[in-house]
Amino acid sequence: MQTFVSVRPNPLDRAETGSERMTSITINVNGRNWTGDVADTSTPLLWVLRDRVGATGTKYGCGIEVCSACVILADGTLTKTCTENVANFIDKKLVTIEGLADMPPAGSSGVTGKMLQEMWVESQVPQCGYCQSGMLLAVYALLRSKPRPSDADIDQAISNICACGTYPRVRDAIKTLTGQAIAA
């Protein structure tokens, strides 16, 4: 399990300026509770994860829910985090890329989070790697609902933007993991 970097209190925190009331919140990230004061409970979860929890594996790409760089699993559901308020996630179990290695087999596919990661290394899927956190969680969620996804299933479920163009390798890695032939 990834150890989170603890971000020190910040001199510009509203608590110090006294300009706004802080709200204490607790969110459960990868099986651990994180408790902290936030000035604004309308802050999207993404920025609490990145700037406060220190879980920077979840990425910012667009801020308008079109690129899927920011997806995590919230109570098992693939969820974009770049616009939805942190307040909506307080009672949910959140899994980010830092917790993928501990995930059990996705549905009946038999593919664990660890197996997914190993296949990504073996297939040399990432190039720059920036979008791959979201990509991996999207693939994990797909395998849970479709243990042997067809090309059409993959096309429909994997809508993440990857500017490096790793899509052919993502597709082939999914096929290999689920025992399907790769298009020649």
**Ranges within 79-138 binding another protein (CB under 8 A):** 96-98, 100-101, 116-117, 120-122, 124-133, 136
Give Rg (Cα) of the chain. 18
CB closer to another protein out of 30 and 109 = 30
- Distance between CA atoms of residues 26 and 41, nearest Å: 11
CB-count exposure of residue 120 (10 Å: 0-12, 13-18, 19+): buried
- Distance between CA atoms of residues 102 and 128, nearest Å: 24
Which residue type occupies 36?
A: G
User: Smallest distance, Å, CB 147 to another protein?
Assistant: 19
User: Smallest distance, Å, CB 59 to another protein?
Assistant: 7
Contact 79, 71 (CB under 8 A): yes
Which positions from 7 through 26 interact with another protein, judged by CB under 8 A? 7-8, 10-14, 17, 19-20
User: Smallest distance, Å, CB 114 to another protein?
Assistant: 10
Which positions from 22 through 61 interact with another protein, judged by CB under 8 A? 39-40, 43-44, 47, 50-52, 54-61
Helices 132-145 & 113-122, crossing angle to 10 degrees? Answer: 130
- Would you state the structure tokens that stand for residue 16, as one six-digit string? 């110090």
User: Smallest distance, Å, CB 139 to another protein?
Assistant: 10
The 10 Å CB-count burial string (b at 16+, else e) for 62-85 is: eeeeebbbbbbbbeeebbbbbebe
Q: Using CB under 8 A, which of 88, 92, 169, 180 touches another protein? A: 169
User: Smallest distance, Å, CB 142 to another protein?
Assistant: 11
Interface characters, 147-166, with another protein (x: CB under 8 A): -------xxx-xxxxxxxxx
Tell whether residue 167 is a contact of another protein (CB under 8 A).
yes
Count, residues near another protein per rule CB under 8 A:
74
- Distance between CA atoms of residues 26 and 33, nearest Å: 6
CB closer to another protein out of 100 and 141 = 100
CB closer to another protein out of 10 and 23 = 10
